[in-house]
Amino acid sequence: MKNLLKLFFLLFFTISYGQSKFYNYNFYEGKNYLFTMNQSNDLMLNFIRYIGGSINDSSLSKKEEKLYSTGLVLFTALVGQAITHEEGHRSVLSELGIGSISEPIFDKHLVAKVTGVTDETLMNLRDNDLPNYIRLHTAGLESDFAYLRKSDAYFNFNEEKHSVLYPDYLMRKLGTQFYYLTNLFSMKSGIKESEDPELKRDIVGHDLYGMIRHLHRPTMEFYRYTERNDLTAEEKSYANRMAYMSFLNTLNPNIWKEGNYTLSKDLKANFSVNYSLAPFGDFVEQNAYLTIKDKYKINPYFRQYFNKSYTFLAGGVNLHNYVFHNDKFLLNSSMDFWNQPKNLEFRNKEAVFGFGLKSELALRFSSWKSNTKSAYFNIGAAYKTDGFIPEAPSLKEDFRILMGIVLSIKNSY
């Protein structure tokens, strides 16, 4: 990952582009570990956008376009999605002060994994902090959700061309959808826990089967690798429901390279419906993406969280890459509010209100090539009460300082 970071910045100074883009990356997000889920996703997204932006110019032939698309499809399928998915799992452990090793290269069983954690550590986490233990299972798909949501924003706010990012976007959509659909049938992994030394074993095995079993029976005998046949009839029904709910992720015009609908002279809009997982169950989300006067980029959303039997409402709004004062400042802010089950419990009817605020202000410190390229120093802060925000590192009340840079290219299309 460190080598990726070096290449990330080297490319910025050596390639040219044909559209306006922002590349936001935080070096520091309030903790002394690398990387948070947000950092991993941003690094991968910007890495692909940089390379794609250097290749996809007006001189590219149809054959070369197909070669680029095929290469990116293979990269995402073989390693790209595995890196960010497994980093999602690892980031949960890092936030809790538990060391682990991400191994995103598929092994002989075609499994990417996170290793380096003992059974005793995992049992202690399950018995004393079940929401984080469940999140340990769901964080890979949470990372997939957050990554695709950012990609949607780049498309919908006209900051990225489909020719640059779409092959990666489509493969991640398909990969995530396939994972959910494995809930519908028994899929023997061929992996036995006893075959590998303890520290070489994947931390959770099949993310969804393990999540479902521990939500329903958190005190049963401990083992990592849950198969579908290990689930009760009630748990299999819950698994089927999750698979069918995941089809909501197809309600998104970006899948068909559509969007940015012109509603009036000053308003363009797009939408998406998303489905993903929470430490106490799952959720459905409805997004609107509004571009007002080609200046204000606003993403309001509504969300419905579900535990075993109850629904909890949530919502929020994001202000995306707002530039002001002659492009000297760049602002990104978000506000989230929610009702979630008390103690993030799977069977609790009682709702607890929470909220989160995040704001980052970037100050331009350098520009060159007739102001078509700029660099900003970014500083911000994030605060949240107890509760779950996708991609936020902690489930507890949390305050952290954020620092990084934003690189900007302002060329005409």
Can you read off the two tokens belonging to residue 12? 């910025």
Confidence bin at 191 (pLDDT 50/70/90):
low
What confidence tens digit (pLDDT) does each residue in 215-261 have? 999 999 999 999 999 999 999 999 999 999 999 999 999 999 988 89
Beta pairing partners, 319: 298, 333
Cα–Cα nearest to 180, from 279, 282, 254, 103 = 282
* C-alpha–C-alpha distance, residues 209 and 2, integer Å: 33
Comparing 187 with 336, the larger pLDDT belongs to 336
- Contact predicate 210/126, CB 8 Å: no
- Contact predicate 362/330, CB 8 Å: yes
pLDDT reading at 12 higher than 50: no
* C-alpha–C-alpha distance, residues 254 and 294, integer Å: 19
Residue 109 confidence (pLDDT): 81
Confidence bin at 8 (pLDDT 50/70/90):
very low
pLDDT reading at 390 higher than 70: yes
Tokens 């520290």 sit at which residue?
A: 199
Confidence bin at 301 (pLDDT 50/70/90):
very high
* C-alpha–C-alpha distance, residues 253 and 271, integer Å: 7
pLDDT reading at 19 higher than 80: no
Confidence bin at 34 (pLDDT 50/70/90):
confident
Residue 57 confidence (pLDDT): 72
Confidence bin at 366 (pLDDT 50/70/90):
very high
What confidence tens digit (pLDDT) does each residue in 311-326 have? 999 999 999 999 999 8
3-state secondary structure of 17: coil
Give percent of the chain above pLDDT 90.
81
Q: What is the largest CA-CA distance in the chain?
A: 66
Can you read off the two tokens belonging to residue 175? 């990969």
Interval 47-62 mean pLDDT: 84
* C-alpha–C-alpha distance, residues 247 and 41, integer Å: 23
Cβ contacts of 405 within 8 Å, gap of 6 or more: 25, 27, 362, 375, 376, 377, 378
4-21 burial, b if ≥16 CB within 10 A, otherwise e? ebeebeebbeeeebebbb
Residue 17 confidence (pLDDT): 39
Residue 59 confidence (pLDDT): 75
Residue 32 confidence (pLDDT): 84
What confidence tens digit (pLDDT) does each residue in 64-82 have? 889 999 999 999 999 999 9
* C-alpha–C-alpha distance, residues 368 and 387, integer Å: 43
Q: Give, in order, the Cα–Cα distances in Å from 140 to each of 77, 124, 147, 216, 319.
A: 15, 21, 11, 20, 26
Backbone angles phi, psi at 117, to 5 degrees: -125, 135
Average pLDDT for the chain:
92
Secondary element (H or E) of residue 242: helix 233-245
Comparing 408 with 370, the larger pLDDT belongs to 408
3-state secondary structure of 226: coil
